[in-house]
């Protein structure tokens, strides 16, 4: 299990962001990450990247049919 760098998080929150201790401890981890800009580095998913991922990780493996045995309504069944 990885350890949380509380000293580093406190320096970032109270030092760089000038948060009060009370406000720092009220934040959720994701709120702190957003305030520090960590979430801004994730580029948006483009159509080209989605197609790359779909090709690399197909939903159906080789030899698997598309006959809808699970009874899930698809776009071609009039549902």
* Structural tokens at position 74: 């698809």
Do 19 and 13 touch, CB atoms closer than 8 A?
yes
- For residues 35 and 17, the answer to whether their CB atoms sit within 8 Å is yes
Query: What is the tens place of the pLDDT at every residue in 29-52?
Result: 889 988 988 767 777 889 999 999
Between 77 and 32, the more confident residue is: 32
The better pLDDT of the pair 63, 35 is held by 35
Distance CA 31, CA 1 (A): 22
Report in angstroms the alpha-carbon separations of 57 from 18, 39, 62, 72: 44, 25, 12, 21
Whether residue 70 has pLDDT greater than 80: no
Report the pLDDT averaged over residues 22-30: 92
Q: What are phi and psi of 38, to 5 degrees?
A: -65, -35
What's the confidence (pLDDT) of residue 67?
A: 57
Q: What are phi and psi of 21, to 5 degrees?
A: -55, -40
């Amino acid at each position: 299990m990885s350890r949380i760098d509380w000293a580093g998080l406190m320096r970032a929150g109270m030092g760089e962001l000038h948060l009060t201790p009370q406000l720092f401890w009220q934040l959720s981890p994701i709120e702190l990450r957003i305030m520090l800009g960590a979430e801004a580095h994730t580029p948006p998913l483009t159509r080209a990247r989605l197609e790359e991922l779909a090709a690399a990780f197909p939903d159906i493996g080789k030899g698997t049919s598309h006959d809808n045995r699970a009874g899930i309504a698809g776009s071609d069944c009039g549902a």
